[in-house]
Chain A
Amino acid sequence: MPIITYRDALSQALREEMQRDDRVFLMGEEVAVYQGAYKVSKGLLQEFGEMRVVDTPITELGFAGVGVGAAMVGLRPIIEFMTWNFAVLALDQVLNAAAKLLYMSGGQYNIPIVFRGPNGAALQLSAQHSQSFESWLAHIPGLKVVTPGTPYDAKGLLKSAIRDDNPVCFLEGEMLYNTKGEVPEEEYTIPIGKADLKREGDACSIITNGKMVLVAMQAADQLAKDGIKVDVVDLRTVRPMDVEAIRMSVMKTNRAVVLEEGWELAGIGAQTVDYIQRDCFDMLDAPVIRVHQADVPMPYAKNLERAAKPDAAKTIAAVRKVMYLD
């Protein structure tokens, strides 16, 4: 099976879906002539032309709304945000238009749109460029929120997102674009809303999503050296959340660590823990522990940034704690 980057996996998904359906177009800042701020759209302008690969001014609120309007009348837009940090300017269109038009119109106007771009912290980009938005978006009924952590998942989920008749927020990662993994040459899609057991064990469940899947796998590797085998449950989609996959894992391991990239309060992990206490209360051998970003804006200095981010060491410490090893 070919090994390709997360970036190329996304690029393949875009190309294949644009070939498959001429209602699909890509719009955003620097997606066309510049070939994509992160080169995800490299070559697409040349292949599909300027009506289908559209450079916009720096105008997030505006072009997000253009996407919603086009989707109302039958097109299938892919709106690229250079990063989700900038998408905050467009949140009104995601929240008040894309997510609500189907409901407010009594089922008349569905919005088949994908909002996509990198989410979360890269390296030393400091406070305004290092934020995780999955919990913000997952709060909103009417959206689907997808956070692939591997090239395989990125391609299969992006194809599903583009084919979905609902608005899908698709959260990538700057630090993921160069990561590599196996991606089959043949056509495949991955259903939205299905978690994936990335590692099997019986000592503890690490439940996570997005970029933190890599962190969880590093932690699992380290723990395995000490004979501690953990489940790594990659949620892949945070709305809707695969509650059954969480339940199955925790019923087996009786212990859980919930790892997320964003802040603690009202985070994805808070909801995950709520599902666990509701479904697995009598099966738990220890309180669930959460690993997350420190409750501060992201600092610039290397040491402070490292201290703020969730990482493998913090995850390992949490696993050992729920196992009463430390």
Chain B
Amino acid sequence: MPKKKQDNPAASGGGGASSSAPSNAELNQEMLRSMLLQRRFEERTAEAYALGKIGGFCHLYIGQEAVSTGAESVMRPDDYVITTYRDHGQALARGMNPRNVMAELFGKVDGCAHGKGGSMHMFDRSLNFLGGHGIVGAHVPLATGVGFAIKYRGGDQVCVCFMGESVVNTGAFHEALNMAGLWKLPVVYVIENNRYGMGTALERASAIHDIYERGASYNMPRAVCDGQDVFSVRAAMAEAIQRARTEQIPTLLEVRTYRFMGHSMSDAVSGTYRSKAELDEHMKRDPIVLLRMHMQDQGEFTDDQLHALDEEIKAQVQDAWDFAEASPEPPLEALYEDVLV
């Protein structure tokens, strides 16, 4: 894992998956399934957006799937997850039904928020999925509050808070991490450093570029890992979660990744703030390809199996699409529901 500033942080793990990979073929298959579901789901999301079936802002996670999947692979069902508006991948990795996620994107009554939230606001209380939040940085204090509640109740759960790297420049981030460090709360703050806050590169936004070092300000253990390598994420998260669960010590984990799509559906994939050449270079380290290659190298997975899995997932996503399409619009009387309990 890199400890110094690098010109190409996402390349830190080398050309392939790291050698620390577990040999657990079953686990690897589950992780591949999780990542592939996110990928195929969002490819269809982009298609539906282009067709006008999805409106508003829509931020895709493509390229970052190893972060959600690697983190979830070491979490318990009763742990908590909270994230930003780039939340489809996190929602699916947490185990939300693709049908309800797609129906929410379509603004239909069977969406997870009955069509009230849309792309940026996926929630599932039954999975302790505390939502996608739309104001940059503002959900980080909420995660600190969840950590406070866990400690208050004397539980051993952990709250995992995902955020983009641009969050670290907000006041909310600073305030939230200071309290978590001060009070020793069981929260893992995961920075998904995809290099750009909308169109502004990290180096143009942050006075320091090894942003995990900001943990020092909060007396917080900190680490950095390769976000294209699911095993690297898994190992770093395992350590952070263990520390939170057993010692109630928070961690600031920087995960270096890259988004393969634009900031949102209205943003060109490349050409303004990043070059096609840069994008192509990063896309050589597609997290799904890296995991698949590792599994094939290990003899855990044949081409036929991959093909079958992919077809199965495509069918699952098509089912989600069909479900969303068939689901009715929310009834007009719902307009005034759920303002207050």
Contacts and interface: CB of A to CB of B under 8 A. Distances in A.
Interface of A: 25, 51, 56-57, 59, 61-75, 77, 92-93, 96-97, 101-110, 141-142, 144, 165-166
Given A65-B139, A105-B123, A105-B131, 18 more contacts: A61-B171, A62-B141, A66-B176, A67-B145, A69-B82, A69-B144, A69-B147, A69-B148, A69-B149, A72-B146, A73-B80, A73-B128, A73-B130, A74-B149, A92-B172, A102-B340, A106-B116, A142-B340
B149 A73 contact: yes
Contacts of B178: 57, 59, 62
Given A70-B152, A105-B131, A107-B337, A62 B172 contact: yes
A67 B179 CA distance: 12
Contact of A75 (B149, B172, B182): B149
B146 to A, nearest CB: 5
B145 A166 contact: no
Contact of A61 (B124, B141, B148, B149): B141
Contacts of A73: 80, 128, 130, 146, 149-150
Interface residues of B, number: 48
Nearest to B330: A106
A103 B341 CA distance: 10
A295 B338 CA distance: 36
B164 interface: no
A69 B143 contact: yes
A310 to B, nearest CB: 31
A109 B338 CA distance: 10
Contacts of B138: 65, 92-93, 96-97
Interface string B195-239: 000000000000000000000000000000000000000000000
Contacts of A105: 113, 116-117, 121, 123, 125, 131
A69 B123 contact: no
A176 to B, nearest CB: 27
B277 interface: no
Q: Which of A67, A73, A101 has the most CB of B within 10 A?
A: A73
B320 interface: no
B179 A63 contact: yes
Contact of B131 (A92, A104, A107, A144): A104
Nearest to A113: B145
14 contacts: A62-B175, A62-B178, A63-B175, A66-B144, A69-B145, A70-B149, A72-B146, A75-B149, A92-B135, A97-B133, A103-B339, A104-B113, A108-B113, A166-B340
Contacts of A96: 134-135, 138
A105 B142 CA distance: 15
B282 interface: no
Q: In the A-B complex, list the 9 residue pairs whose CB atoms are closest, starting with the nearest.
A: A69-B145, A65-B141, A62-B175, A106-B113, A69-B142, A66-B145, A105-B123, A106-B114, A107-B338
A107 B176 contact: no
Contact of B148 (A66, A109, A141, A144): A66
Contacts of B341: 102, 107, 110, 165-166
Q: Which of B112, B123, B148, B153 has the most CB of A within 10 A?
A: B148
A72 B130 contact: yes
A160 to B, nearest CB: 14
B175 to A, nearest CB: 3
